[in-house]
Structure 1
């Protein structure tokens, strides 16, 4: 079978690169490409951008990463340069991903490309592939495709990792998703820090009190409503100012489990 690159590929690659050049991000894969049963489309509460993810595993991985304090941005379904992936496949004597019926070449993508920054403002990138579960000893083609991604990113000195479902805390992701409904990017740092001090003082005074009562008491001290205290609490947790054990469901009628 003769492999070929299509005009449709070229148009999508051009649109992807043009958006990048404008400082925008547009995932290479569109919602119409994804299975309605597994895809996840949601607005990222931290960046405000509509996010397109192929599976719940990717969504849980995304939400576990986006609130890390060193994470600036996450780009999903990131297109790999077709000429480079073709070159790698030729060197390794692999068949490049293609349409099995027509021979049309497929543009490879990496699930999540994470941009991080250190304390000095220096940026770096980390690449991730998410799989529900995979046996690389038996699924040789998946193993080959993952090696292709790893070799691609190695050319740019970027670490590439495979993350399976078992390595992601589903409950932590659920907790973060629920807290995300209260996320506000513009909250002042001094207000956040003040709430942390008051809330932790309330926990120290009444460690067995239900979270609802702690929020009410913290609100009374700060002379704000319980709802406003809830917003501040959620933002403190998401910013890791208040560190909780999120591996178990966050219940408002139970005491908080601090780390």
Structure 2
């Protein structure tokens, strides 16, 4: 006969996290790089948009965060967001799925979702949230590309999905193909000037000139266009390059980032 899963320790940890967040006034993830006992590449990075340290528990999570936070209508991202332990326990009973727990002590674990993202509609001011879980494709599909819904991974994902459905929040699973290494390489290149202080009028002039020159000859390299814009607007090469990176990062120039980019690369405007 199976012993009952205990939620005493998990409930205590969840309530302690709630109090800590209420007291600090700034979001703090439930799981941190220092506390997770996991064999993987973990990352702590400072986010300029959120003005705080972000805790990411794999390379895949890191690339996903870098891609998501760049989106213009993303207001904030809560990483390693815990799910109410009592709700997930109830859902596990309803769905007849074993709740995540320590198999030795039978103590329940607090479940968490990798990212809860708040978006905004700039026209209406309306905001909404979407919950995302990152998983590598080989954790989701077998060697033939089929989903095994009875696998332990999918069982836990179904609990997450049910939790967010009850909260009225859309839930999505993302894999490494959404933001691949090439895309993140480019975003990181652009990001070196993402905090550039620049006037709106200067951006309008720069992006307009860049688009016009690209349309004249789409086969030009990024460097050639940057040089021509600099000549046209009486800018230094360095300033023109900085404006390009800023505009690309903030998507004022809609650029294809599927392939690695550099100054010697040709660029596709979308």
TM-score scaled by structure 1?
0.89
- Quick one: distance in 2 between partners of 1:217 and 1:204? 13
- Quick one: distance in 2 between partners of 1:8 and 1:229? 54
* Aligned 8 A contact 1:76 1:112 in 2: yes
Q: Does 1:203 align with 2:206?
A: no
* Aligned 8 A contact 1:45 1:181 in 2: no
State the partner residue of 1:102: 105
- Please show how residues 1-259 of structure 1 align to structure 2 within 5 Å: 1-7=3-9, 10-11=12-13, 13-20=15-22, 23-32=25-34, 33=36, 35=38, 37-118=40-121, 119-133=123-137, 134-135=140-141, 136-137=147-148, 140-184=151-195, 186-259=197-270
- Quick one: distance in 1 between partners of 2:135 and 2:109? 19
- Quick one: distance in 2 between partners of 1:72 and 1:159? 16
**Displacement after TM superposition at 1:164 (Å):** 2.0
* Aligned 8 A contact 1:13 1:28 in 2: no
* Aligned 8 A contact 1:16 1:28 in 2: no
- CA gap of 1:5–1:169, structure 2 versus 1, over 3 A, is same
- Quick one: distance in 1 between partners of 2:251 and 2:49? 14
**Displacement after TM superposition at 1:22 (Å):** 5.0
- CA gap of 1:216–1:35, structure 2 versus 1, over 3 A, is farther
Structure 1 unpaired stretches of 5+: none
What is the CA RMSD across the aligned residues, in angstroms? 2.3
TM-score scaled by structure 2?
0.86
Count of residues in correspondence between the two structures:
259
- Quick one: distance in 2 between partners of 1:186 and 1:73? 21
- Quick one: distance in 2 between partners of 1:137 and 1:36? 25
**Displacement after TM superposition at 1:175 (Å):** 0.8
